Structure 1
Amino acid sequence: MEIRSEILWIILGSAAVTVIPRVLPLMVLSRFKLPDWSMRWLNHVPVSIMAALVAQELLLEDGKLAPLATNTELFAAVPAFLVAIFTRSLLGTVTVGIVSLMLLRLVLPG
């Protein structure tokens, strides 16, 4: 099996642009002691990114605000959020979310 040089360069370039933005900040920031306020701020970044992704998926449809009456994903998210809050179980949250959406799509027209 022969690899063309163009394909090899594309693979190497893709690897570089994937690794450099992840490894370079890690290498640079590991040499410094960040202040406490910045560490507290950075602790909120994963939660805010997840909230933005979930909110976009639940509230938008084709780039516009989804109508509440037909937003089955939002209705299915409510029991999933409750399970997440009270049990902190990822498996339980995903299971309740999937079952809720399945039942809502089965019952509601559209």
Structure 2
Amino acid sequence: MSELMIWTTILLAGVVTFCLRYSFIGYAHRMQTPEWFRRALRYVPAAVLSALVCKALVYYGATLQLTLSNERLLAAVVAAGVAWRTKNVLWTTVTGMLALWALQALGL
């Protein structure tokens, strides 16, 4: 495959992706949606983020890792405790990352 064909494919894929996403953003104000649907849409970002994070915590490669040797899972438990106690995103993130780095350094 030539270099021109590769760049053309990348450009076209970007244009198609942009058009698909913009169609929902650019024309959403014209659509009449029920109130229950708008309320439900508020939870989509949190649900998607939770799904991505949970998968990253319990899977390593294609293997389910629900053991005490899973540093990411242990760090997430520490971060969840900090989140529950402080309700502060910054402290939760910093504590979770420090816990992960410490656990990885200890090699548990």
Fold agreement, TM-score > 0.5: yes
Residue aligning to 2:20: 21
TM-score w.r.t. structure 2 length? 0.79
Aligned residues: percent identity? 30
Which amino acid letter does the alignment assign opposite residue 105 of structure 1?
Q
> What 5-or-longer segments of structure 2 have no aligned partner?
none
Residue deviations 1:40-65, cap 9 Å, x none? 21111111111111110111122221
The CA distance in 1 between the partners of 2:61 and 2:8, in whole Å, is 37
The CA distance in 2 between the partners of 1:5 and 1:59, in whole Å, is 41
SS of corresponding position for 1:68: coil
Contact 2:68 2:74 in 1 (8 A): no
Residue aligning to 2:29: 30
> What 5-or-longer segments of structure 1 have no aligned partner?
none
State the shift of 1:80 in Å: 1.0
The CA distance in 2 between the partners of 1:60 and 1:8, in whole Å, is 34
User: Residues 59 and 5 from structure 1, CA distance in 2 versus in 1: closer, same or farther, beyond 3 angstroms?
Assistant: closer
Residue aligning to 1:92: 91
The CA distance in 2 between the partners of 1:26 and 1:43, in whole Å, is 15
User: Residues 10 and 50 from structure 1, CA distance in 2 versus in 1: closer, same or farther, beyond 3 angstroms?
Assistant: same
The CA distance in 2 between the partners of 1:11 and 1:64, in whole Å, is 32
TM-score w.r.t. structure 1 length? 0.78
User: Residues 63 and 5 from structure 1, CA distance in 2 versus in 1: closer, same or farther, beyond 3 angstroms?
Assistant: closer
The CA distance in 2 between the partners of 1:26 and 1:100, in whole Å, is 39
Aligned Cα root-mean-square deviation (Å):
2.2
The CA distance in 2 between the partners of 1:16 and 1:41, in whole Å, is 29
User: Residues 5 and 29 from structure 1, CA distance in 2 versus in 1: closer, same or farther, beyond 3 angstroms?
Assistant: same
The CA distance in 1 between the partners of 2:60 and 2:30, in whole Å, is 44
Matches within 5 A, 1:21-100: 21-100=20-99
